[in-house]
A = this chain, B = another copy of it.
Amino acid sequence: MASLKYSRQRECIKSFLLSRYDHPTADTIYMNVRKEFPNISLGTVYRNLALLASLGEIIKITVDGADRFDAHVEPHSHFICKNCHQVLDLHVENEELIQAQAQKNFPGQIEGHVVQYFGLCSTCLKEQQVLSQHAEAL
């Protein structure tokens, strides 16, 4: 029954994810893995991502309708830019407290949590400031 077999493609997908600290979409992963496996198909990428996620080796998050993947599974928070939809890691103090609080309220039922923060990333913030200056000038 459903034992696991080695695959070079899966290996490559995982090591690519380990090398990145942003949170690539399946398509970005596909584009990059193709450098090593020119014939790999998107289907294979999706299948392996789903497999790795079910094994707990990677994390899948959905942002604005598109799935994104992360091989860094230690608890951390995400900052999501409202403008460019970029997802960045965020390190917040006392994060364990949030989990502990939830566990206290709902013992045994909560397996994990994710905190997503929203706002404008520094790049988009800068762009917006430039725009409002232009508007002022009129």
Q: How many residues of A contact B (CB 8 A)?
A: 33
Task: State which residues 65-105 of A face B: CB under 8 Å.
Answer: 65, 67, 77, 79, 82, 90-94, 97-98, 101-102, 105
A111 CB contact (under 8 Å) in B101, B109, B119? B119
Q: A117, B112: Cβ atoms under 8 Å?
A: yes
Whether, in the assembled complex, A39 has its beta carbon less than 8 Å from a beta carbon of chain B, the answer is no
Q: Which residues of B contact A77 (CB under 8 A)?
A: 102
Q: Which residues of B contact A114 (CB under 8 A)?
A: 115-116, 118
**How far does the alpha carbon of A63 sit from the alpha carbon of B67 in the complex, in Å?**
10
**How far does the alpha carbon of A113 sit from the alpha carbon of B90 in the complex, in Å?**
12
Q: Which residues of B contact A119 (CB under 8 A)?
A: 106, 109-112
**How far does the alpha carbon of A111 sit from the alpha carbon of B121 in the complex, in Å?**
11
Report the 7 A-B pairs with minimum CB-CB distance, sorted nearest first: A111-B119, A113-B117, A110-B119, A114-B116, A112-B118, A110-B117, A62-B62
Of the A-B pairs whose beta carbons lie under 8 Å apart in the complex, a sample of 14, sorted by A's number, is A65-B67, A77-B102, A79-B106, A92-B98, A93-B101, A94-B97, A97-B97, A106-B117, A106-B119, A111-B119, A112-B117, A113-B116, A115-B116, A116-B116
